[in-house]
Amino acid sequence: MALDIIIPPAGDSITSANIGEWHKQSGEYVTKGEVIVTLETDKVAHEIEAEASGALEILVAEGEEKEIGAVIGKIDTSVEGANAAPAASPAAPEPTSSEVSEDSDTTEVEYSASCGNKIKVTPLARKIAAASGVDLAQVKGSGPGGRIVKTDVEQSQNSPAASTPAAAPVPAVESTAAPAPLAEAPKRTTRKKMSMLRRRIAEHLVNAQKTAAILSTFNEVDMTAVMKLRKELQPDFVEKYGVKLGFMSFFVKAVAKALKEVPQINGRIDGNEIIENHFYDIGVAVGTEKGLVVPVVRDCDEKGFAEIEQDIIGYANKAKSGKLTVQDMQGGVFTISNGGVYGSLLSTPILSPPQSGILGMHTIQQRPVAIDGKVEIRPMMYLALSYDHRLVDGKEAVTFLLSIKNTLENPTRFLFDL
């Protein structure tokens, strides 16, 4: 009995998926519950487990895109583990992209009457053999059906026993050495298909620029008080909660407080109407090898610092392992992006529609600032707020940033909800 492997539904807005990686080869035996393939959609990547034990048959190769519900493989449940066909041997090298166009079609060449045999050889391999004087009758083919390919001829050139001098007339000084193959020029460019996640990010960013009137405003915050408080509380915080007290939880709490004070930023435009949110689910941008993802920390106004840190670490681990779900990234009202972890000094983040605001954090840098008429060296961070100017005016944007600045420079205000 053959059991179909089908691309499952992944969300209302997702219509297709990309075959990211097969974890088993065709013909190998798989056991029920074993991860056999990773699918990539335009939002997340998720793993598909075998629903039964049997021999795997792959129908769709890695990198191909198929619609939801498409059959991408089968599992033959009648095959026992010991009877499964072995995986294809990797001994024979696959032709590179530069060889495929000329080294793919089979041509049969008839040799001398004494031989009377026909040898399968590709056009490119025959051309190289003719130029270098290699006797194809002495070359063993490694291609499909024993076909001689370019690699076989080149290897034969390096083997004196397998090659003979060319039969063509030679000049006065005869040389039996085959000419060295020409070195291939290094590739100046490469071309690869965009991942579905990267395509989605590109479309999302372009749409944001088209649909919103994005404007940015800036301020800076003195991180002295936060850094001092964090250093004092870190040992007890780690001992009690099992996670480190990071800067992000301070910013998440400060943003939640500022959203309450400036409700225009906690809203969005829907046609000719304004929808104002009364909850505080904040997205925290996380960079991965495949692109930027923004999981959402729920009810940030009600959670403590430890809960927020635990949520962020949990999302970061899921993002690295490719196990974030669509639900993890939906429903945010505001986003925080921390370019400072990569050394960014200042940037203008792009909105994530339908949200009306995004805060950019940046690297902490020791800079001279005026404090009570004196110049002091302080750890300073630039803040950037990008917002939809259709809904948020400059006054609200500046007020929002000043609220965050005042809260972080006086973190004891958290204790009294000031």
Q: Among all residues, which ones are annotated catalytic? A: 389, 393
Q: Distance between CA 418 and CA 410 in Å, rounded?
A: 10
The structure tokens listed for 387 are 């917002």
Mutual angle of helices 224-241 and 305-320, in 10-degree steps:
80
The number of helices, as runs of H, and strands, as runs of E, in the chain is 9, 21
In the chain, the amino acid numbered 264 is Q
What element of type H or E holds 375?
Answer: strand 374-388
Nearest C-alpha neighbor of 415 from the set 279, 305, 252: 305
Q: Distance between CA 209 and CA 151 in Å, rounded?
A: 51
Q: Give 296's contacts (C-beta < 8 A, 6+ positions apart).
A: 281, 282, 283, 284, 328, 329, 330, 331, 332
Q: Distance between CA 223 and CA 383 in Å, rounded?
A: 12
DSSP per-residue string spanning 111-134: --TTT--EEEE-HHHHHHHHHHT-
Question: What are residue 235's phi and psi, to 5 degrees?
Answer: -60, -45
What is the residue whose two structure tokens read 């649909």?
211
Nearest C-alpha neighbor of 174 from the set 210, 139, 209, 133: 133
DSSP per-residue string spanning 292-356: EE--EE--TTTS-HHHHHHHHHHHHHHHHTT---TGGGS--SEEEEEGGGGT-----PPP-TT-S
Q: Give 143's contacts (C-beta < 8 A, 6+ positions apart).
A: 92, 120, 122, 149, 152
Q: How far is CA 174 from CA 153, 167, 168, 171, 177, in A?
A: 22, 12, 11, 6, 9
The structure tokens listed for 25 are 């080869």
DSSP 363: -
Q: Is the peptide bond before 354 cis (omega within 30 degrees of 0)?
A: yes
Mutual angle of helices 247-261 and 224-241, in 10-degree steps:
110
